[in-house]
Amino acid sequence: MTVQWSGLGPELLLQLDRGLGQPLRSQLEAGLRDAIRGGRLQVGERLPSSRELARELGTSRGLVQECYSQLLAEGYLTSHAGSATRVAATARPAPAKPPPGQAPPPRLVADFRSGVPDLASFPRGDWAWATREVCRSVPTPDLDYGDPRGSMVLRQVVAGYVRRVRAAAADPDRIVICTGFAQGLNLVLRVLAELGVRRAALEDPGYGSEATSESVQTVLAMGIDVVHVPVDELGLDVAALEASSARAVVVMPAHQSPTGVVLAAKRRHALVDWAARNDGYVIEDDYDSEFRYDREPVGVLQGLAPDRVFAIGTVSKSLAPAVRLGWVLVPPPLVDAVATAKRVSDRGSSGLDQLTVATLLESGRYDRHLRHMRSLYARRRRVLIDSLARHAPGVKLTGLAAGFHAVAHLPYSADEQAVVTAARERSVGLYGMAPHRGTPVAAPPQLVLGFGNVGERAIESGIATVADLLS
Ligand SMILES: Cc1ncc(COP(=O)(O)O)c(C=O)c1O
């Protein structure tokens, strides 16, 4: 018969098997040693008294005392007169060595990884203030599971915000709060798959291939085929979309990632027309449009066709990815289906975080933060342009109208991957266009230069360090 004992906490389970033919004392010793070595019993943790443990295990107290004495002698336990027996500091298991190939990455002089906002600028003070406000004022019933669409307070605030800033056709009843673009896409595709959508188009370059992109994997996981549709200087090639027989397309009209192209007005209309004629759906990834430098932000496509477009917003770029909060503006007939998918997925996003974001938006602190970030990114963008002009004048930059990344066009003779590798050897993080391509093509060498999370001095010295590789 096996006696199970879990009195040290939920994770510690000691087993004595009386049918094993092995002495109980050695079983108990081995169980405790394993728990200490494996880290289930941490250094300094208190063990139960011998009397308590003997009762739990149905053994004699003497047996437990002998066992403790043995482990004391071996250095696994310590005990001082009048105090409890504890796991000894010397019993700490050697820290696991990282497996080969997983050593921490070396520090970079400059890391031009795209998609990352300035993490150091996260408005910690405002967040802490808003969290306190929410904790002080949240009505007790709002601490329960809520509407799967999300907090009504946040939905109202988001609706007002995206109407004002993004010219969206937003109604709080038709918004589903989610944890960001990744989840929004997942929920929408699930619903579209149920509606019989079997093929979805992705921009190319864009999210990349199955090997490089979680978004592509998400589409495939829903049982939906992926087709890649080219992006040119006017944005998504809508004629190619038409020819692809896809019924859904994921598109970034305001600032395509990674090319930085803005979808041209006539393509916007053609895309909406495509959706209407084909019973098709557009999933709009509206990820970084708050940051536009040359003129006012372009409104969302969803404003033109709210019945055909799902617009997904996120605070990953405006605040930080760690917040994990976003929203989907859903065509009216599909709101319940998306809300159900959200409920099934995780029963709703954190109600407290939703209220915190709503408080930031309502208080004007979010807008103030955006103004601050816009001028910070504008300065970094300027430094990037100037540094390239100074150190590698042959390199053209495009895609700079918005966001915080740009595309650098290398000379035709350059080898994109070789430049990336050589830059890494000089401790500069450069990233090629190749991982963003859905289909491997012989394309001109390009780099995607993120400048969101790199300081001005690092941009300047990073570009100076790799200038000869770029030219
Ligand atoms: C193109 C694009 N869209 C959206 C996002 C934001 O995703 P999420 O909201 O899940 O953080 C990212 C993040 O890097 C991105 O690169």
Q: pLDDT at position 34, please?
A: 87
321-334 pLDDT, tens digit per residue, is: 999 999 999 999 99
CA–centroid distance, 116 to ligand 1, in Å, is 9
How far apart, in whole angstroms, are the C-alpha atoms of residue 71 and residue 60?
A: 17
Q: pLDDT at position 95, please?
A: 65
pTM: 0.83
76 near 36, Cβ under 8 Å? Answer: yes
Return phi, psi of residue 16, to 5°: -115, 125
Helix (H, G, I), strand (E, B) or coil at 26: helix
Helix (H, G, I), strand (E, B) or coil at 451: coil
| Ligand 1 atom with least separation from CA of 326 | 9
Question: Distance from CA of residue 326 to its chain's centroid?
Answer: 11
CA–centroid distance, 316 to ligand 1, in Å, is 7
Q: How far lies 331's CA from each of 44, 74, 154, 303, in Å?
A: 57, 68, 19, 11
| Ligand 1 atom with least separation from CA of 285 | 3
209 near 439, Cβ under 8 Å? Answer: yes
Looking at the DSSP bridge assignments, the partners of residue 349 are none
397 near 381, Cβ under 8 Å? Answer: no
Q: From edge to edge, which strands make up the β-sheet containing 235-236?
A: 175-178, 326-329, 309-314, 281-286, 248-251, 199-204, 225-232, 235-236
Q: pLDDT at position 225, please?
A: 96
Report the 10 Å Cβ neighbour count for 171: 16
Polymer length of the chain = 471
416-458 pLDDT, tens digit per residue, is: 999 999 999 999 999 999 999 999 888 999 999 999 999 999 9
Angle at 127 between CA 126 and CA 130, to 5 degrees: 85
Q: How far lies 308's CA from each of 169, 210, 279, in Å?
A: 12, 26, 8
Which residues of the chain are modeled with pLDDT < 50?
Answer: 2-5, 9-11
How far apart, in whole angstroms, are the C-alpha atoms of residue 290 and residue 316?
A: 12
Radius of gyration of the chain (CA): 28
Helix (H, G, I), strand (E, B) or coil at 443: coil
Residue list, ligand 1 pocket, CB within 6 Å: 115, 180-182, 257, 285, 287, 314, 316, 321, 326
CA–centroid distance, 172 to ligand 1, in Å, is 23
Residue whose Cα lies nearest atom 16 of ligand 1: it is 115
Q: pLDDT at position 46, please?
A: 87
Report the 10 Å Cβ neighbour count for 331: 19
CA–centroid distance, 178 to ligand 1, in Å, is 13
Q: pLDDT at position 93, please?
A: 62
CA–centroid distance, 248 to ligand 1, in Å, is 19
Tokens in use for 296?
Answer: 């006012």
